[in-house]
Amino acid sequence: MSRSRADVIIDRIHNALSGDPLYATNLLYQSLESASFGMVKVVVFFFQVADNDLSADMSAREVLARLHDEGIFVAFHKTRRREGERLLTVSQALNTENFNYTYGNLQGFTRLWLIKTTEAERALRDMKAQQKNVVFRH
């Protein structure tokens, strides 16, 4: 019986989060971060999600739905290197019993963490400043 693409991706995510030495060399980033709801494990790596971008997007949706109950959030970022390849930013709350924890908080933490680590804060401030200075003329 063949395994679905989502099964393969989920296995790779679990291996990355477990710290398996076989997969650790392929990680671009791995750390423990502090959030309002406790510690969060973050790993970042490239993965060929599918053969084309449409299939990759469909696989990403399935993976997100299946990992929701495990308290794992994955941000998929399209790369320009290859069709169907994605940069995966995976975050897992280590204490889902914390009263401040919700899956939405984990999503928000991951998005803010990405903005902070990619130094996109300055770009966002500049963009907002430009939007304030825009004058619409009729």
pLDDT tens digits, one per residue of 41-96: 999 998 888 888 888 889 999 999 999 989 999 999 888 778 888 889 999 999 88
Given pLDDT bands bounded at 50, 70 and 90, which one contains residue 10?
A: very high
CA 132 to chain centroid, in Å, comes to 30
Domain residue spans in the chain?
5-132
What average pLDDT is seen over the chain?
86
Lowest mean pLDDT segment, chosen from 7-11, 18-22, 56-60? 18-22
Give 39-78 as a DSSP string. Answer: EEEEEEEEEE--SSHHHHHHHHHHHHHHHGGGTEEEEEEE
* 91 against 24, higher pLDDT: 91
